[in-house]
Amino acid sequence: MDGLFAQTESWEDAVHSVQSNLLFEFRNQLPPDVIAEIARESVEQFRQEPVRIRTFIPLLALRVARDRLRFSIGSQKQPA
């Protein structure tokens, strides 16, 4: 998995890498469109920052998105 991240060439590649990983990991827990949107937002969050080295952005975005998705799942399980 980390090898894919090191080869990321564009922001769209980063989004695709993050989405692919998250869609596999959360496939039975959340709708694919929700997963894809959070993945895109997480990559875009890093795109807004002045970053000189982009190599690890997909990995960092994956961690941020994964935390957001886990939080989303956890909040769905708690009674209202």
pLDDT digits (tens, 9 = 90+) for 20-52: 999 999 999 999 999 999 999 999 998 887 777
Cβ burial, residue 23 (10 Å; 0-12/13-18/19+):
middle
Is-above-0.85 flag for pTM?
A: no
- Residue 35 CB: number of other CB atoms within 10 A? 23
Per cent of the chain over pLDDT 90 is 55
- Per the prediction, the chain carries an average pLDDT of 85
Q: Identify the residue with better confidence: 7 or 48.
A: 48
The residue that leads in pLDDT, 78 or 13, is 13
